[in-house]
Amino acid sequence: MAPKGPPKKPKKEVDWASDEHFHQDRSMIYVEHTYECPIFTTKAEECGTFFAQRIPERKFQLVRNKYGKQVPREGAFEIGFSQNARTSVHEIWTGLDKGPPRRDKFPNYESLVPEVQKILKKFYPDKAVGVEDEEDEDRDDMM
């Protein structure tokens, strides 16, 4: 039988928002999942792998149960996403009120892609604004 509870040795917590580790192109995936069954851990890992493969131009960092410091709620499988470590976390999936059957607690990751892309676009004002500013300058030059 699989052990219940957090992993024996949680990964060392890294402050991804610190100047030393921060990278604007590293998106954060936060998963809260229960330990009542090993499938929850597997699905959390699948989530991180899916987005890394689906959106290869971005780096993704998976953070599970706040590196084991968070005691997950019973039956929890929730996914939060942020454009990078210095932006707010947006909940994109909650399986708390879903199931049984257990499979209903987990999303089809492909269905989450539009929401993730929306969050990524929302926090890219520097790129979007830069293009618009150039167009505005061209219009000003014409006048």
Q: Please list the rounded mean pLDDT of every run of 10 residues in the chain (143 residues).
A: 54 68 84 92 95 91 88 92 88 90 92 91 51 39 45
**What is the model's pLDDT at position 3?**
53
Residue 93 is encoded by which pair of tokens? 């999936």
Q: Residue 68's pLDDT is what?
A: 81
Question: Residue 11: its pLDDT value, please?
Answer: 55
- Backbone φ and ψ for 109, nearest 5 degrees, come out as -60, -30
Q: What pLDDT sits at residue 141?
A: 45
Let me know: does 80 contact 30? Beta carbons within 8 Å.
yes
* DSSP code at position 102: G
Domains delineated in the chain:
26-142 (3.40.30.10)
Cβ neighbour number for residue 108 with a 10 Å cutoff? 9
> Residue 8 has what pLDDT?
55
Cα 27 to the chain's mean position, in Å? 7
What is the C-alpha to C-alpha distance for residues 69 and 7, in angstroms, rounded to an integer? 11
pLDDT for 70:
87
